Amino acid sequence: MNQLPYLATLATRHAWAEREYARLHADLVEATLIARVRSAERAAQRRAWVRDRFSELRPVRRRQPVPYCARAAAHTARTAGGVR
């Protein structure tokens, strides 16, 4: 990865450096994508582990639906249009 900036300047002048720069850049992009996927998988495993461990301790609370309020709905409709 440290070679990438040095090869970028050479790549403008030499075909070999251009190919080497493209190869190193592709390897770097591939490694970044693989690391991102692995990180997402580990995070999903951690969330599942925590959910399994603590689900029996504390029941899941469902949010109650908010009752309809005509006054609040009218206020947001007025301010959204720019008239206040």
Model confidence pLDDT, tens digit, residues 9-27:
766 777 877 788 888 889 9
Q: Which two tokens stand for residue 71?
A: 């006054």
For the cut 90, the answer to whether the pLDDT of residue 57 exceeds it is: no
pLDDT of 38: 96
Q: Tell me the pTM.
A: 0.50
* 33-50 mean pLDDT: 94
| Cβ pair 57, 47 in contact under 8 A | no
